[in-house]
């Protein structure tokens, strides 16, 4: 920003002239920046107006309120019992007190500054020229030609060998820079040893080919009589860590259907088109994967009257007496059924892993 292209309007003044007031010099600066002050007037009548004094008092009061509440914040921060205790105690009010004291302090300070600017400072109306014109045609030409000249000097156009060599040299280097990031993150979702997309904790293979028992969250196995008719229980594979997030696809809902519902459900399972659910029920018990086939939330709201399972995330609904087919909402695929049986000791086991793929859908799901 030089005065060269900010000639400004009006006549320049000699800023060293001792007769000039400070405001005269300010105005000369404004002239050089192409700004014209149209109005600049005090908001009060006369230098000692009562309104001005009143406003100064109000603003001072606001500053004092800000200081007072900041002090209160500090005092409460230090002395108020802050350690959390169960039940209704004085520490419950610690956070609200901090908020109120700090909030009022900051807000009062803000209003004080705003009032100072809006009510005490003179009203002004200034006009500045934008100078939003693009660079002159000459400047554009010069800059463009300079850039072309730089390219000419480098001579990439004239030296085709260099062009090829740069491409061959730089492209691999660029790939080399990206490789650690991509390569480090990449992980084959279908690779050995664990093809993670299709296996859950109920897979008997890692369990020494023995069927995996069903267990509660605490790891205890389940007998059929533990679930009353019409009841349901979330079960996990009875393997180490089976109820943890390491086996996030394994949580299963074990449902004890009433006799008539069970008959319907069994007929539907045995008449399954692709035969995967055939014989998977045990008595009046049926077990479905709890992981919604839509987005993977646990479909955990069981409506006894309608025999529906509802996923609370996106409201997909599954009919549990019809192979858990989706009947409403965005899910397209039924919940996988876990083939159930009872072992010699009378505990529930899964005869095999889920036969359908558990969890949200994806491109290459078989």
Partner 1 sequence: MKRRKLDPAEATANFAKGADDRFQAATPLRGLLNKVFPDHWSFLLGEIALFSFIVLLLSGVFLTLFFDPSMQEVAYDGSYLALRGTEMSSAYASSLHLSFEVRGGLFMRQMHHWAALLFMASIIVHMARVFFTGAFRKPREINWVIGVLLFLLGFFAGFTGYSLPDDGLSGTGLRIASAIMLSLPVIGTWLSAAIFGGEYPGELIIGRFYIAHVLLIPGILLALISVHLGIVFKQKHTQWPGPMRTNENVVGERMFPRYAMKQGGFFMAVFGVIALMAGLFQINPIWNFGPYRAAEVSSASQPDWYVMFMDGLVRLMPNWQIYFGPYSLPPLFWPAVVGLGALFTLPMAYPWLEARKLKDTKSHHLLQRPRDNPERVGIGMMALSFFTVATLSGANDVIADKFHISLNAMTWAGRIGLLIVPPIAYYLSVRICLGLQQHDREVLAHGVETGIIKRLPNGKFVEIHQPLGPVDDHGHPIPLEYRGWVVPKKMNKIGALAPAVKGFFFPVEKPAEAPVSPAPITSSKREEIGSKR
Looking only at residues 296 through 335 of this chain, which bind partner 1 when binding is defined by CB under 8 A? Answer: 296-298, 300-301, 310, 312-316, 326, 328-333
* Nearest CB to partner 1, comparing residues 162 and 248: 248
Say how far apart CA 51 and CA 115 lie, in whole Å: 13
* Nearest CB to partner 1, comparing residues 311 and 337: 311
* Nearest CB to partner 1, comparing residues 20 and 162: 20
Say how far apart CA 266 and CA 255 lie, in whole Å: 13
The label of the residue with tokens 């000039």 reads 20
Q: What angle do CA 288, 293, 299 make, to 5 degrees?
A: 55
Q: Least CB distance from residue 229 to partner 1, whole Å?
A: 23
Give the binding-site size for partner 1 (rule: CB under 8 A). Answer: 102
Find the binder of partner 1 among 84, 150, 192, 218 (CB under 8 A).
Answer: 84
Q: What is the per-residue burial (b if ≥16 Cβ within 10 Å, else e) of 244-271? A: eeebebbbbbbbbbeeebbeebbebbee
The answer to whether the beta carbons of residues 309 and 318 sit under 8 Å apart is yes
> Residue 12: which residues within 8 A CB-CB, separation 6 or more?
28, 31, 32
The answer to whether the beta carbons of residues 339 and 350 sit under 8 Å apart is yes
CA distances to 100, 104, 105, 235 from 96, rounded to whole Å, are 6, 12, 14, 42
Over the window 1 to 40, marking each residue x when it contacts partner 1 by CB under 8 A and - when it does not, the resulting string is xx--------------------------xx-xx-x--x--
Question: Is there binding between residue 125 and partner 1 (CB under 8 A)?
Answer: yes
Q: Least CB distance from residue 188 to partner 1, whole Å?
A: 7
* Nearest CB to partner 1, comparing residues 222 and 243: 243
The greatest distance separating any two alpha carbons of the chain, rounded to the nearest whole angstrom, comes to 111
* Nearest CB to partner 1, comparing residues 300 and 352: 300
Say how far apart CA 325 and CA 337 lie, in whole Å: 11
Report the candidate in 28, 34, 27, 26 with the shortest Cα–Cα distance to residue 5: 34
Find the binder of partner 1 among 7, 10, 12, 50 (CB under 8 A).
Answer: 50
* Nearest CB to partner 1, comparing residues 238 and 262: 238
Q: Least CB distance from residue 97 to partner 1, whole Å?
A: 7
> Residue 73: which residues within 8 A CB-CB, separation 6 or more?
98, 101, 102, 105
Question: Is there binding between residue 107 and partner 1 (CB under 8 A)?
Answer: yes
Say how far apart CA 348 and CA 351 lie, in whole Å: 9
Question: Is there binding between residue 197 and partner 1 (CB under 8 A)?
Answer: yes
Question: Is there binding between residue 56 and partner 1 (CB under 8 A)?
Answer: no
Among positions 143-172, residues that touch partner 1 (CB under 8 A) are: none
Q: Least CB distance from residue 354 to partner 1, whole Å?
A: 15
Report phi then psi at 107, rounded to 5: -65, -40
Over the window 265 to 294, marking each residue x when it contacts partner 1 by CB under 8 A and - when it does not, the resulting string is -------------------------xx--x
Q: Integer distance in angstroms from the first to the last C-alpha of the chain?
A: 68
Q: Least CB distance from residue 297 to partner 1, whole Å?
A: 5
Find the binder of partner 1 among 71, 74, 167, 196 (CB under 8 A).
Answer: 196
Segment near partner 1 (CB under 8 A); pick from 126-134, 172-180, 264-272, 334-342: 126-134
Among positions 212-231, residues that touch partner 1 (CB under 8 A) are: 217
Question: Is there binding between residue 190 and partner 1 (CB under 8 A)?
Answer: yes
Q: Least CB distance from residue 65 to partner 1, whole Å?
A: 11
Question: Is there binding between residue 96 and partner 1 (CB under 8 A)?
Answer: yes
Over the window 236 to 255, marking each residue x when it contacts partner 1 by CB under 8 A and - when it does not, the resulting string is x------xxx-xxxxx----
The total of other beta-carbon atoms located within 10 Å of residue 286's CB is 28
Say how far apart CA 298 and CA 77 lie, in whole Å: 42
Question: Is there binding between residue 71 and partner 1 (CB under 8 A)?
Answer: no
**Which residues, in sequence order, are bridge partners of residue 350?**
212, 340
């Amino acid at each position: 920003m030089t005065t060269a292209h900010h000639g400004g309007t009006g006549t320049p003044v000699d800023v060293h002239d001792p007769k000039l007031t400070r405001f005269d010099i300010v105005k000369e600066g404004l002239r050089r920046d192409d700004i014209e002050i149209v109005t600049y007037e005090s908001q009060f009548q006369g230098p000692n107006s009562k309104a001005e004094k009143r406003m100064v008092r109000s603003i001072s009061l606001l500053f004092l309120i800000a200081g007072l509440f900041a002090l209160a914040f500090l005092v409460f921060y230090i002395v108020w019992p802050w350690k959390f205790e169960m039940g209704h105690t004085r520490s419950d009010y610690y956070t609200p007190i901090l908020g109120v004291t700090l909030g009022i302090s900051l807000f009062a300070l803000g209003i004080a500054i705003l009032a100072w600017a809006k009510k005490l400072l003179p009203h002004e109306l200034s006009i500045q020229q934008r100078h939003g014109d693009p660079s002159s045609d000459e400047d554009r030409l010069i800059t463009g030609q300079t850039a072309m000249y730089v390219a000419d000097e480098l001579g990439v156009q004239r030296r085709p060998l260099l062009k090829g060599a740069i491409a061959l040299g730089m492209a691999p280097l660029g790939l080399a820079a990206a490789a650690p990031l991509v390569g480090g993150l990449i992980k084959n979702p279908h690779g050995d040893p664990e093809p993670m997309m299709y296996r859950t904790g109920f897979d008997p293979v890692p369990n020494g080919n023995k069927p995996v028992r069903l267990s509660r969250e605490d790891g205890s196995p389940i007998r059929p009589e533990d679930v009353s008719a019409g009841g349901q229980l979330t079960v996990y594979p009875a393997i180490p860590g089976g109820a943890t997030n390491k086996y996030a696809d394994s949580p299963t809902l074990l449902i004890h259907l009433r006799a008539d519902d069970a008959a319907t459900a069994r007929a539907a399972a045995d008449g399954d088109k692709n035969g995967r659910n055939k014989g998977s029920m045990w008595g009046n018990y049926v077990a479905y994967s709890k992981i919604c086939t839509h987005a993977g939330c646990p479909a955990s709201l069981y409506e006894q009257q309608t025999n529906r399972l509802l996923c609370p995330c996106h409201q997909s609904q599954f009919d549990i007496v019809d192979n858990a087919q989706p009947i409403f909402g965005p899910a397209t695929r039924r919940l996988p059924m876990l083939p159930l049986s009872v072992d010699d000791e009378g505990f529930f086991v899964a005869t095999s892993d889920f036969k359908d793929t558990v969890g949200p859908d994806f491109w290459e799901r078989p």
